[in-house]
DNA sequence: AATGAATGAGCCTTCATTCAT
DNA sequence: AATGAATGAAGGCTCATTCAT
């Protein structure tokens, strides 16, 4: 009826989009709070103001919405990681970029408002690795492969290295989430330093 | 009747202990196979020759038996770790001992016989950190604290270091479980080397 | 605007009639395919190009459209039956006419194209006798009453006779629908012969 | 504890048997009232004083209990029919025996107490023929085949005859159920007479 | 009118837990 | 204590129907 109409969606589309978002974000919250297995579709719709049946207008099942969430997250993370790999001039720079990106992603994605107001991370309890985790893993593995025979010795055990790097990412990231303030840069610096130099141990002979 | 009672009391206690063990070990297997959420009490008692009601003579709930299992495992692990700490003469030796012990523990505890004959790990799907994990974390943290100002610089971030070490333990351990053969010693060597020296990267100036 | 309205009113009515027919015929097909209970309103509207809400502009419920269908069918059948009664000069002729009419009606009404190309009957699964069945029943009963004291002995049990006649109609009709080709004339001839003469049994004394 | 114990089942077994029977008879009633499709498992358990879950201790599904009921009914009917065939010396005697048996079976099986106290038949609304119906059909067909070339002309259309006979059985049986008193013998006499002699029509030439 | 998303009662089923035996 | 059937809350999901657009 006015020019605005041309730019805005119809009311129906607006509602649809709003509902879809409400469901998605409720699901994210609920999954974070109770874990994928323990979370129920009813939990999800109960934390929206929608009716139970409405859920199924948007997602076929709990599985589907979980996939949607995970894919979505991974799709936001992956290009950032890849970009870092492309832009990095050395391995240290790459690692630093990747850790920073991942830690920021964690804050956005998995830290949730606890009842007491604190932001707490509850990583997805799915047994199976989430797409986001897989994305990091694969990206890091690719980066490491690229460096083999260059900065990294040819015979390196790529999988163990990847495991170690992502293990550090996971746990240091978790630790960072519990801290106040959540200092991603410091955490990244620490992680990179461990990976490249190890602990600054003075080996003794006693 | 009295003497009989005395004898059968002994027998009863035996039976009780045997039943409790049967339930615990069935639970361990079932949790490993299906994960905590998916596992049902029925699954557990079905893998024993007991009746469903009997379960509740020994454990109040599925939650309680899970806790019992976890505590139990932790209680077996902890003294080993502590022993290593006491016996170790240097940090490298300590780390090596701890990783070896932990990786062996993993094999015993979480790897299960898959239908295809492979041994697969299904770490407990509980969201909350397991007692065993907590035990490792605390032990390692204690060991690190002990070294502060000695092999480790005084101002070190104990928690980040612990996080990194346990993250590596977790992921490298997982990786090891997937391999054939499961070489705990090699995995431990790798983990220790990363922690003490970092990746053997030749930093370039390009 | 007024003239336009007059024209579009005409169009509207056309559309309404067309929609109603579309829904009715979709329903007929769907009921035939899946049976009344299994058929859903969604199934019905899905086989039209209308929206689900539109269904309720035409029919109050699934029940109502089923009734409409049945009534509709009965209303087409009834005059034919009545006509036969009026035109018939003797009972045999009447029966023959009625059976032929009924069997043809069955083919039109309940036989559907199965996926394998065969035409299969799926009689309405409603428990309650359909209007068409009732129509036949009443018509036949009327015809029989008319003949009482004439071709039929005065004391005859009209209801039992009607039951027998319609029972034969029902089952022989069904049988005919399963055959290929569907020979209504032969089926009618058989039915009439049974009713008038019974089975051609040679009673024996053994 | 007493001799009685030897003859009676344990209390548990008694309860089990009673529950199973309660469910079966509730199901019979509910199926009769609402038809197989419309009936729900909840309807069934709601008409017992058992809890919803209990149903599934006895039957896996609605389908299974329906099968149990149908099989059961058919298994009671079939031997009676077969016996009649064997014992009958002529076709008339056979038919009379079978109709009597079938009508009595109907009363036992499908007539239910209506809210108004009348006993009403509501034959199972399943689309697919019930085992009991199939039993009758097959039995009658067998009997007819046996008579072919003897009392029945060799070229007879067995299927049409069977259809006619069972159609009469069905509808006359229904009619009988609606009457008070329910006179199976009279109904059987009528049915047999129709089948063997047809209606007592005086064919006229007018 | 037509639309189609929203609604919510209700379905089938599972399963932790209780309790009579 | 052991048993195992009974319980009933809860879950995932469907679908007739309503209602804002």
Q: What is the pLDDT of residues D49-65, one digit of tens each?
A: 999 999 999 999 999 99
pLDDT at A145: 87
Calculate the average pLDDT of chain D: 83
Mean per-residue pLDDT, B176-192: 92
pLDDT tens column, D172-195: 998 898 888 899 999 999 999 999
pLDDT at A77: 87
Query: Residue with CA nearest F7 C1'?
Result: D51
Nucleotide of closest approach to A16 (CA, C1'): E5
Confidence bin at A31 (pLDDT 50/70/90): confident
pLDDT of residue D200: 79
Structure confidence by residue, pLDDT tens digits, B102-150: 999 888 876 665 555 555 545 544 345 567 777 888 888 998 998 888 8
Q: Is C166 on the interface with D (CB under 8 A)?
A: yes
What residues contact residue D84 under an 8 Å CB cut-off, 6+ apart?
Answer: D94, D97, D98, D101
- Please compute the mean of the pLDDT values over residues A133-140 and round it to a whole number: 78
Q: Which of B154, B153, B158, B166 is nearest to B195 (CA)?
A: B166
Using the predicted structure, report yes or no on whether residue B164 has a pLDDT greater than 80: yes
Of C122, C127, C164, the CB nearest to D122: C127
Q: What is the structure's pLDDT at D16?
A: 93
**Residue with the larger pLDDT of the pair B126 and B70:** B70
Q: What is the mean pLDDT of chain A?
A: 83
Residue nearest to nucleotide E18 (CA to C1'): B53
Secondary structure E strands in chain C: 111-113, 119-121
What is the DSSP secondary structure assignment for residue D129, as one 8-state letter? P
| Distance separating alpha carbons of residues B24 and B69, to the nearest angstrom | 7
- Which residue from C125, C195, C200 is facing D125, i.e. has the nearest CB? C125
Residue A18 confidence class, pLDDT cut points 50, 70, 90: very high
Residue C201 touches partner D, C-beta closer than 8 Å: yes
D175 touches C159 (CB < 8 A) = yes
> What was the pLDDT predicted at B73?
84
Strand, helix or coil for residue D116: coil
Q: Do D159 and C175 touch (CB under 8 A)?
A: yes
Q: Which residues contact D60 (CB under 8 A, 6 or more apart)?
A: none
CA C53, C59, C60, C62 dihedral sign is negative
The confidence score (pLDDT) of residue B1 equals 44
Query: Hey, which residues 104-163 in chain A have their CB within 8 Å of chain B?
Result: 122-123, 125-127, 147, 150-153, 156-157, 159-161, 163
What DSSP string runs through A50-87?
Answer: S-HHHHHHH-SSHHHHHHHHHHHHHHHHHHHHHHHHHH
State whether residue B47 is helix, strand or coil. Answer: coil
pLDDT at D29: 87
A57 in Cβ contact with A16 (< 8 Å): no
Between B5-9, B43-47, B57-61, the lowest mean confidence (pLDDT) is in: B5-9
Among chain A residues 55-114, those with CB within 7 Å of any atom of strand F: 56, 60-62
Whole-angstrom distance between the N-terminal and C-terminal Cα of chain D? 86
Distance A1 CA to F21 C1' (A): 15
**Token output for B62:** 């599925």
**How many Å apart are CA B18 and CA B10, to the nearest integer?**
12
Place of tokens 């801290």: A179
More reliable by pLDDT, B109 or D202: B109
Number of Cβ atoms within 10 Å of the Cβ of C141: 17
Measured distance CA(D140)–CA(D162) in Å, rounded: 6
Per-residue pLDDT tens for C63-102?
899 889 888 888 888 899 999 988 988 889 999 999 999 9
- Gap between the Cα atoms of C66 and C53, Å rounded: 18
Q: How confident is the model at residue A191 (pLDDT cuts 50, 70, 90)?
A: very high
Q: What is the C-alpha separation between A75 and B11, in angstroms, rounded?
A: 62
- The β-bridge partners of A73 are none
Nearest CA in chain D to C35: D127
* pLDDT tens-place string over residues D109-159: 766 655 555 555 455 443 345 666 777 788 888 888 888 888 888 888 999
Q: What is the pLDDT of residue B193?
A: 95
Token match 């460096």: residue? A147
Q: Which of B109, B106, B110, B125 is nearest to B166 (CA)?
A: B106
pTM for the full predicted model: 0.79
Question: What integer pLDDT is reported at residue B130 of this predicted model?
Answer: 67
Flag if D163 and C174 touch (Cβ within 8 Å): yes
Q: CA of C178: how far to CAs of B201, C118, D160, D169, in Å?
A: 82, 9, 11, 21
**Cross-chain residue pair A125–B122, CB shorter than 8 Å:** no
What is residue C9's predicted lDDT score, i.e. its pLDDT? 56
pLDDT category of residue D1 using cuts at 50, 70 and 90: very low
Contact C152 D190 (CB under 8 A): no
Name the strand (E) or helix (H) holding C56: helix C52-58
Between A3 and B177, the higher pLDDT residue: B177
The yes-or-no verdict on residue B37 having pLDDT over 90 is no
D130 against A196, higher pLDDT:
A196
Position A100 scores a pLDDT of 95
**CB distance C150 to C63 below 8 Å:** no
For residue C163, list chain D residues with Cβ-Cβ distance below 8 A: 168, 171-172, 174-175
Task: Assign C119 to helix, strand or coil.
Answer: strand
Nearest nucleic acid nucleotide to C45, CA to C1' distance: E4
- Has residue D32 got a pLDDT over 50? yes
Measure the CA–CA gap between A146 and A139, rounded to whole angstroms. Answer: 11
- For chain D, how are helix, strand and coil distributed in percent, rounded to 5? 70, 5, 25
Q: Determine the distance in angstroms separating the CA of A133 from the nearest CA of chain B, rounded to an integer.
A: 12
Confidence band, pLDDT 50/70/90 cuts, at residue A3: very low
Query: Would the CB atoms of C199 and D161 count as touching at under 8 Å?
Result: yes
Nearest CA in chain C to D159: C175
**D68 in C contact zone (CB under 8 Å):** no
d(CA D150, CA C206): 12
Q: Give me the residues of chain C with pLDDT under 50, please.
A: 1-5, 124-127, 206
Chains A and B: how many Cβ contacts under 8 Å?
Answer: 139
Contact between C175 and D160 using a beta-carbon 8 Å cutoff: yes
Q: How far apart are alpha carbons A88 and A67 in whole angstroms? A: 31
- Nucleic acid strand E within 7 Å of D50 CB: no
Contact predicate D194/D92, CB 8 Å: no
The residues with which A113 forms a beta bridge, in sequence order, are: A119
**Which residues are CB-neighbours of C77 under 8 A, at least 6 positions away?**
C101, C102, C105, C132, C135, C136
CB distance D161–C37 less than 8 Å? no
């Amino acid at each position: 009826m006015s020019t605005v109409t041309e730019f805005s969606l119809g009311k129906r589309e607006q509602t649809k989009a709003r509902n879809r978002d409400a469901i998605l974000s409720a699901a994210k919250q609920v999954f974070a709070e109770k874990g994928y297995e323990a979370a129920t579709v009813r939990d999800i719709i109960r934390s929206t103001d929608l009716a139970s049946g409405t859920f199924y207008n948007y997602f076929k099942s709990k599985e589907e919405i979980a996939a949607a969430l995970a894919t979505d997250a991974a799709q936001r993370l992956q290009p950032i990681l890849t970009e870092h790999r492309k832009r990095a001039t050395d391995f240290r720079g790459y690692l630093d970029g990747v850790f920073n990106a991942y830690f920021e992603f964690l804050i956005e994605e998995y830290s949730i408002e606890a009842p007491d107001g604190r932001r707490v991370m509850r990583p997805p309890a799915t047994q199976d690795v989430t797409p986001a985790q897989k994305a990091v893993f694969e990206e890091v593995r690719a980066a490491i492969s690229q460096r083999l025979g260059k900065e990294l010795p040819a015979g390196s055990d790529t999988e163990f290295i990847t495991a170690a790097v992502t293990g550090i990412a996971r746990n240091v990231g978790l630790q960072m989430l519990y801290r106040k303030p959540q200092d991603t840069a410091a955490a990244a610096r620490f992680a990179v330093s461990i990976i490249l130099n190890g602990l600054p141990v003075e080996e003794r002979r006693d």
